[in-house]
Structure 1
Amino acid sequence: YLEGLNIALIFEKTSTRTRSAFTVAGQDLGMNVTYLGSSEIQLGKKESVIDTAKVLGSMFDGIEYRGFKQEDVEALAEFSGVPVWNGLTDTWHPTQMIADFMTLKEIFGKLEGLTIAYVGDGRNNMANSLLVTSAILGVNVKIIAPSSLQPEKEIIEIAQQHNNGAELTITDDLDAVKGVDMLYTDVWVSMGEKVDFKERIDLLLPYQINADLVEKTGNPDVIVMHCLPAFHDLNTEIGQEIYEKYGL
């Protein structure tokens, strides 16, 4: 029933996995996929988001958006007249949640009774999304981060409003990882974020997921997840730069 439909993929932020996943999925389902990168459209520059939404909605049957502002993807959804998928904004990453919680269900066979812990920058789109999605699905979740990098009040309130029996914990105490079924982390500096790298590294180094933190869970079956990309070796330019400057 999707064969022959046309979908547009808008990418203000570059991506490997999100672009590949939407492209392959669309093509496998028989859809025609058009990629629109930041250098190929005038979104919010020479043309307003609303006008762009109306034009694309007249030509495409669905739109995926990966970019910066949450209000932009919401405007696309409101004014395009076609389904819009949020492939990531600075606030949320819902399609990643579909993949992550399907993975949890695949590994553990259920979601009920699980406890997950996100460790690191607790204000970014991944922490926000894990907190709210866990609440909706009734999965116990702990956001473990320095007090200055914990979720915003409005994000916590959204999670509380949609909570279906999950235990929601926000703390800076790393001992909170004890007994969790899954450890999750993300990059310490988000795409497009302007921040002092050394200051952020010094703040989050104690929250690095390593063998000691995994052992601290006390769970021999604990799994570790990361949405990627991860600078875990010297095989990237950024990885080399971080190693040379900060010894990581």
Structure 2
Amino acid sequence: MSLRHFLTLADITAEELETLLRRAAELRALHRAGELHEPLRGRVLGMIFEKSSTRTRVSFEAGMAQLGGSAIFLSPRDTQLGRGEPIEDTARVLSGMVDAVMIRTFDHDNVERFAGASSVPVINGLTDDHHPCQLLADLQTWQAHRGEIRGRKVAWMGDGNNMCRSWMQAADMLDFQLTIGCPADYVPEDLADHANSRHETSPMAAVEGADLVVTDVWASMGMEDEEQGRLVAFRPYQVNEALMEAAAGEALFMHCLPAHRGEEVSAGVLDGPRSVVWEEAENRLHAQKALLEWLVTENRQ
């Protein structure tokens, strides 16, 4: 069995994505029913964090515990990808001691280099280019409320960032339409490579008839110097009550969190009846358990 990694959604097929989403729903039900399911007993996940995160750390660490395994947290003080020793050397050493590695870092190239030298599955917990684990949780949440996403319209509002790129990949894989509402200067460079995604500068036009509206912070970690300029550029794209009125009548709202109420989203939308952000956050746990179960057990066959 060939070694599998999960660095972007493109590392799996559409059929595998659907299978993971179904399994995530099953694992959520098992967890809610209080049933033990420990296929990874004795297995260890190494977690490398160069970017901090509440949801990513807790969901992976709790997920491994619930699957019967354990997780080792490595902070920026414990390992420095490519600075203390070559990335490839770190990968060879760690993959001889653990059963999978999750990396949350800045440069996507670092994750690819690590995976290229690793002998165990590598998971992208977030890079500046992609956030595929969040998309698993988002799609699981959508399916729980609305079922099939094929043929639907999703509106992405704000920066053409890592989340936006992962949504573009998902749109191609699952055949739904993605409209990216943002200023022209912030459109993802590879937009033309994704047939099911398009750009719209008008915020209202972007969300018109959308079944799902998604946003993220306007200035991610590492963009502090751009924050004030971004606040001005993205202000018209705030997801507020008026913008949601232009979406479909039963449109849902998602945000990967943490959220800045009064900036990219109004408090009324984030905490309102159309918002599924808290369930979305919880589903990081279940979606990643499905991913870990699949990657680690497949690698051991």
User: Partner residue of 2:116?
Assistant: 78
User: Partner residue of 1:149?
Assistant: 186
Structure 1 residue 194, shift from structure 2 partner? 4.3
Counterparts of 1:172-211 in structure 2 under 5 Å?
A: 172-174=201-203, 175-211=205-241
Q: 221-230 or 172-181: which moved more?
A: 172-181
Structure 1 residue 28, shift from structure 2 partner? 0.5
Structure 1 residue 233, shift from structure 2 partner? 6.5
User: Partner residue of 1:241?
Assistant: none
* Counterpart amino acid of residue 53 in structure 1: A
User: Partner residue of 1:139?
Assistant: 176
**CA 1:84 to 1:110, structure 2 compared with 1: closer, same or farther past 3 Å?**
same
Asked if 2 retains the 8 angstrom alpha-carbon contact of 1:189 and 1:195, the reply is no
* Counterpart amino acid of residue 216 in structure 1: A
Identity of aligned residues (%): 38
CA distance in 2, matches of 1:213, 1:143: 14
Asked if 2 retains the 8 angstrom alpha-carbon contact of 1:131 and 1:141, the reply is yes
Asked if 1 retains the 8 angstrom alpha-carbon contact of 2:219 and 2:226, the reply is no
For normalisation by structure 1, the TM-score amounts to 0.86
Structure 1 residue 130, shift from structure 2 partner? 0.7
Asked if 2 retains the 8 angstrom alpha-carbon contact of 1:181 and 1:223, the reply is yes
Structure with greater contact order relative to length (CA < 8 Å, sep ≥ 6): 2
Match 2:135 to one of 94, 97, 100: 97
Asked if 1 retains the 8 angstrom alpha-carbon contact of 2:218 and 2:230, the reply is yes
Asked if 2 retains the 8 angstrom alpha-carbon contact of 1:142 and 1:171, the reply is yes
* Counterpart amino acid of residue 172 in structure 1: T
* Counterpart amino acid of residue 124 in structure 2: N
Gaps of 5+ in 1: 161-166, 235-248
Q: 194-203 or 77-86: which moved more?
A: 194-203
Runs of 4+ in 1 over 6 A off after TM superposition: none
**CA 1:176 to 1:199, structure 2 compared with 1: closer, same or farther past 3 Å?**
same
Gaps of 5+ in 2: 1-38, 264-301
For normalisation by structure 2, the TM-score amounts to 0.72
User: Partner residue of 1:62?
Assistant: 100
Counterparts of 1:222-237 in structure 2 under 5 Å?
A: 222-232=251-261
What is the total number of aligned residue pairs between the two structures?
Answer: 224
Say what the alpha-carbon RMSD is for the aligned residues.
1.5
CA distance in 1, matches of 2:113, 2:227: 33
Q: Does the residue aligned with 1:202 lie in a helix, a strand or coil?
A: helix
CA distance in 1, matches of 2:192, 2:62: 35
Match 1:51 to one of 81, 89, 94: 89
* Counterpart amino acid of residue 164 in structure 2: A
Q: Does the residue aligned with 1:224 lie in a helix, a strand or coil?
A: strand
